[in-house]
Amino acid sequence: MLSRRFLLGALAGSAAVLASGVDVAAALAAPSGVDARDVATANAGRSPTQWGMTLPGIVTTFATSGRQLALTFDACDRACDDALLDTLAHHGVPALLFVCSKWIDANPGRTEQLAANPLFDIGNHGTRHVPLSVTGRSAYGIAGTHSAAEVVDEVWANQTRLTSLLGKGPVFYRTGTAHYDDVAVDIVHQLGLVPVGFSVNADNGATSAPTSVSAAYQHAPAGSVVLAHVNHPEAGTGAGVAAAIPAMQSAGWEFVPLAGQRLA
């Protein structure tokens, strides 16, 4: 049987995406009130029917009438691309930074430091950086979680850690590899988080050359959620971002926080 607390948490999470003109402010303000164990129990034994990066319930774009993009960067593990972050700060560009527990371990103190900058919003990028599956599906050779309980653990351990570090829980979640099954998407919502994908992959896992990264930003349609990485300072991502942003701002493009947008 579902507890009242579980139902309220599930409703709060669903409302964040299902309503058109999503009220992320309400999601931000909502008390967590979620019992993660109840969520795992309620979803145990469910069979998924879909797998991928663009399933219903995953945010990949937002509604805009102008030349606006929302930039997101994943901090999966390893290092911190300080030059890229300096570029964003220098140009006043807001960004949603998805932080994994492995990256927090490798960069102690940085998450709190980044969160203190009003330009940056911290999202949850998982605990072990694995795809969210209830059947053990994998993506890019990375094995996913094997059950509803493991999905909950992957989301909730890092959520609890980030809540402790930042004094409030992140609103947005992106899996390691950005892959989910449909049961996992439901679970993320029931935990009170909004699953986020992307509509433009700007750096292909931090493997693209600067010219390619810059072109990806400059060709992104208005309303795109753009994905790149902030954990590979040796990659072409930072130089590509540094080339694209001033050119785009001069051309009238605006970079906006994903929070507060009408998500789709």
Q: Interface with Zn ion by CB under 5 A: which residues?
A: 74, 76, 176
Q: What is the CA radius of gyration of the chain?
A: 17
Question: Kindly report the CA angle at 72 between 67 and 73, in degrees rounded to 5?
Answer: 140
Contact between residue 203 and residue 228 where contact means Cβ atoms under 8 Å apart: yes
Phi and psi at residue 27, to the nearest 5°? -65, -40
Beta strands (DSSP E) in the chain are 51-52, 68-75, 95-99, 120-124, 138-139, 142-143, 172-173, 180-181, 194-195, 200-201, 225-229, 254-255
Residue nearer to Zn ion on the CB measure, 9 or 144: 144
Q: Residue 250 Cβ, how far from Zn ion at the closest point, in Å?
A: 31
> Whose Cβ is closer to Zn ion: residue 43's or residue 107's?
107
Q: Which residue is nearest to Zn ion (CB)?
A: 76
Token pair of 111 as six digits: 């998450």
User: Least distance from C-beta 199 to Zn ion, angstroms?
Assistant: 17
Q: Which amino acid is at 224?
A: S
Q: Which is nearer to Zn ion, 74 or 154 (CB)?
A: 74
**Across-strand partners of 173?**
124, 195
CB-based contact 203:182 (threshold 8 Å): no
Least separation in angstroms between residue 152's CB and Zn ion is 19
Cβ at position 210, least distance to Zn ion in Å: 20
Cα–Cα distance for residue pair 11/6, rounded to 1 Å: 9
Residue type, 96: L
Of 10 and 151, which CB lies nearer to Zn ion in the complex structure?
151
CB of 178 or CB of 191, closer to Zn ion: 178
The contacts of residue 188 (CB under 8 Å, 6+ apart) are: 13, 132, 155, 173, 180, 194, 195
Using the minimum distance from each CB to Zn ion, give the nearer residue, 3 or 207. 207
Instruction: State the nearest-atom distance from the C-beta of 53 to Zn ion, in Å.
Output: 12
Residue 175 CB, nearest approach to Zn ion (Å): 8
Q: How far is the CB of 125 from Zn ion (least distance, A)?
A: 6
**DSSP codes joined into one string, 201-230:** ESSTTTTS-HHHHHHHHHTPPTTBEEEEES
CB nearer to Zn ion: give 176 or 223: 176
